[in-house]
Structure 1
């Protein structure tokens, strides 16, 4: 009888990759609770919440967190609208250039961040738009749209068109069909796409560097802290905060779309 279980060396390699990727994150988490003032005294002499209270009292940190949350929320909202509309337009329509449009929608997240950042900065300078909050939101929305589009178009392809036809045959208007038939089928895909887009936007730094101007998001604040060794304990706390804020939406998006992955892997 054939078993779907992977060979032992494959499982060991997979777990080895997981440990390799997450070990540095574990170190940051440990040092966020270190009692010593030194940057990296090993082994840690004890555990304390002192650095968390100091971080909570820093106005620069609170301003950076607030700005990053605002940008991530706005970028996600724009991505949800544009990504859903683009997926709906490409779902069942056949027209010249459809594949090219699909490729262009995926291109921003496939290109290196430095290329996207330079292109956006040049475009903003051309139209006379000074870097700031608006330019950051536009820059983040360019790659957040891709995440939402991928989730929504995948769910559209798994949605039976006969449901839409049945709704129309029963006299429902286009809006009623969308509200009561299409939207409920897209609910978890939209939520998962939005959560992934939020996580990507919240900790994005490369594109932000070119589009921020005088604004300082939380990732830019962390980058600036690299030259201040005395603030390393507080920096570790903020880094742990970023990891937690971004990990929760990613895990939530995986949980919401796990049925899609099971259906895709189980299909013949």
Structure 2
């Protein structure tokens, strides 16, 4: 009853605030609506509004393109591998920073989150230079390393925020009751971290899947799906196919982000979700 009274006592939003919110939502999502619309257009040369007609043929064309499947497969493999790497490294770094006291702890925390604050061009150039100095040829793993640099930050931010809100006495009680380190991690730490790691992993996958700038510097001759889309935009007759693939990318990145939101909305918000 008290929460209902408090909710009813809140002032209603003004008309200006409502209009501003509507404008913000339209500003963010109308361009995506046009992309979805142009995926069904019958025009194959340029963008025309309103579309002269609607068709599903471009979905069939995109389905039959082997280059689309190759790029999609590479993007999914890179995103999954980078996410697993980020979950391991980000969780270990978060545990060290949140549970241990050592000289330079804050500096370490700053260095871990720094890659997500740097422009992607800077990260890409730095990685390309490092690979060149080490004489490492561009491959699947150079892309994974490039993506992991910012995916680790997303997982780290979620994990360290959750660990700092988890009482250390729970771990001490578990150890006092005879549990070893693995049992304590499995039955005490992991259940408290589960939703934070799920959110961090989903966001890391979404960021890796649609990454363009860092991939451009670390992929060499390989083509991920975003790189494929960027190269196809210069071909006017291929734009409807590109729009179809863009619709698929929207769906693939929307699902993990929505999953992360639902997993954390009741317990804690997902931190570090933007890049």
TM superposition score normalised by structure 1: 0.94
More displaced 10-residue stretch of structure 1: 252-261 or 233-242: 252-261
After superposition, what is the alpha-carbon deviation per residue over 1:56-90, rounded to whole angstroms, capped at 9, x for unaligned?
Answer: 10000000000000000000000000000000001
Which of residues 61, 72, 76 is equivalent to 2:79? Answer: 72
Contiguous gaps of at least 5 residues in structure 1: none
The answer to whether the 8 A contact 2:46-2:237 is kept is yes
CA drift at 1:43: 1.0
| Residue of structure 1 equivalent to 2:140 | 133
Which of residues 176, 184, 192 is equivalent to 1:169? Answer: 176
Which of residues 211, 227, 231 is equivalent to 1:204? Answer: 211
CA drift at 1:50: 0.9
| Residue of structure 2 equivalent to 1:158 | 165
Which of residues 17, 20, 29 is equivalent to 2:24? Answer: 17
TM superposition score normalised by structure 2: 0.92
Q: How many residues matched?
A: 263
| Residue of structure 1 equivalent to 2:126 | 119
CA drift at 1:162: 1.9
CA drift at 1:91: 1.0
> What are the residue-to-residue correspondences of 1:185-204 with 2, within 5 Å?
185-204=192-211
Change (3 A) 1:71 1:122: same
Q: Does 1:226 align with 2:226?
A: no
Q: Does 1:243 align with 2:243?
A: no
CA drift at 1:42: 1.9
The answer to whether the 8 A contact 2:203-2:257 is kept is yes
After superposition, what is the alpha-carbon deviation per residue over 1:99-141, rounded to whole angstroms, capped at 9, x for unaligned?
Answer: 1111101110100000000000001111110122111000000
The answer to whether the 8 A contact 2:174-2:184 is kept is yes
CA drift at 1:158: 1.7
Runs of 4+ in structure 1 off by over 6 angstroms are none
SS of residue paired to 1:259:
coil
- CA RMSD of superposed structures (Å): 1.6
The answer to whether the 8 A contact 2:38-2:47 is kept is yes
Distance in 2 (CA, whole Å) between partners of 1:186 and 1:8 is 41
The answer to whether the 8 A contact 2:90-2:152 is kept is yes
